[in-house]
Homo-oligomer: A and B are copies of this chain.
Amino acid sequence: MRDEGDEVRPEQTMQDRAYQTLRHALIVGKLPPGKGISLRAMAEDLDVGVMPMRAAIARLSAENALTVHDNRRVSIPEMTTDRFDQLMQARLLIEPTCAMRALGAIDEATLARIRAHDDEINRSYQIGDAELYMASNHAFHFEIYRAGRSEVLTHLLESVWMQFGPFMRTVYGAVGAVRLTDKHEMAIDAIERRDVTRLKLAIEADILDGMDLLGKSIFTQPAEMRSVSAASGQA
């Protein structure tokens, strides 16, 4: 049985709307690390009821994108060298695999969108728009990964990205202007040539570039615990 108007199914609920809004804010780093997230206050800010906001916060907390303290209070996660280490390790492990799994499913239309995202990244550099960079960079990567329909793996990656979004945004001003050799174009080139090995290397290199840049700026923290290298072993 079917309905003529298909607005029945994808009718977005309030909690979905609240979730998407907060999630996007995390990804582009609109909220600073350590900032407290209050139920009623945030509900007021996003102009949404308390119940949807409660569901949204619970969901983000379950995805490790928000930190819940012993007080049952919630806040934007603070970055530590150890957490940064694990997040980048997770990226290095999962993202190349995701990209390789997706390569065969990237058609011309998808590739066009990937290029468009990369153009947006370049534009963000020129105009110095940090949030645009964050959003476009996320879109670029997940346009690739999502093409492979690897729901399980991409879900893990979404969690990882939301966790370092706020921190990454705070250090954008210090390192964001610097641009190394573009690994994104290398990835696009690999996709065009259907070269899985090169695509894997491009993704790895892109992550390592980011690690190298962001890793340095972590030493501003009260760094009593600092493990030197970000990722130890590499397969």
A136-161: CB near B (< 8 Å → 1, else 0) gives 00000000000001111101100110
List residues 68-93 of chain A with CB under 8 A from any CB of chain B.
Answer: 70, 72, 82-83, 86-87, 89-90, 93
Binds B, one of A58-66, A106-114, A121-129, A167-175: A58-66
- Best-surrounded residue of A9, A62, A70, A72 (most CB of chain B within 10 A): A62
Q: Taking the complex as formed, is A94 at the interface, i.e. its CB lies under 8 A from any CB of chain B?
A: yes
Q: Taking the complex as formed, is A28 at the interface, i.e. its CB lies under 8 A from any CB of chain B?
A: no
Stoichiometry (number of copies): 2
A62 with B70: CB separation less than 8 A: no
In the complex, which of the residues B70, B83, B90, B100 contacts A94, with contact meaning CB atoms closer than 8 Å?
Answer: B90
A191-235: CB near B (< 8 Å → 1, else 0) gives 000000000000000000000000000000000000000001100
Q: Find chain B residues with CB under 8 A from A86 CB.
A: 150-153
Q: Taking the complex as formed, is A10 at the interface, i.e. its CB lies under 8 A from any CB of chain B?
A: yes
Number of interface residues of A (CB under 8 A): 35
Q: Closest approach, in angstroms, between the C-beta of A147 and any C-beta of chain B?
A: 14
Secondary structure of the A contact surface, majority rule = helix
A-B pairs with the 3 shortest C-beta distances? A62-B62, A86-B152, A93-B93
A64 with B97: CB separation less than 8 A: no
B152 with A70: CB separation less than 8 A: no
Identity of the chain B residue whose Cβ is nearest the Cβ of A70 in the assembled complex:
B9
Q: Taking the complex as formed, is A181 at the interface, i.e. its CB lies under 8 A from any CB of chain B?
A: no
24 contacts between A and B (CB under 8 A): A13-B72, A55-B58, A58-B58, A59-B59, A60-B62, A62-B62, A62-B63, A64-B152, A64-B155, A82-B149, A86-B151, A86-B153, A87-B152, A89-B97, A89-B153, A90-B153, A90-B156, A93-B97, A94-B94, A100-B233, A152-B163, A155-B159, A156-B159, A156-B160
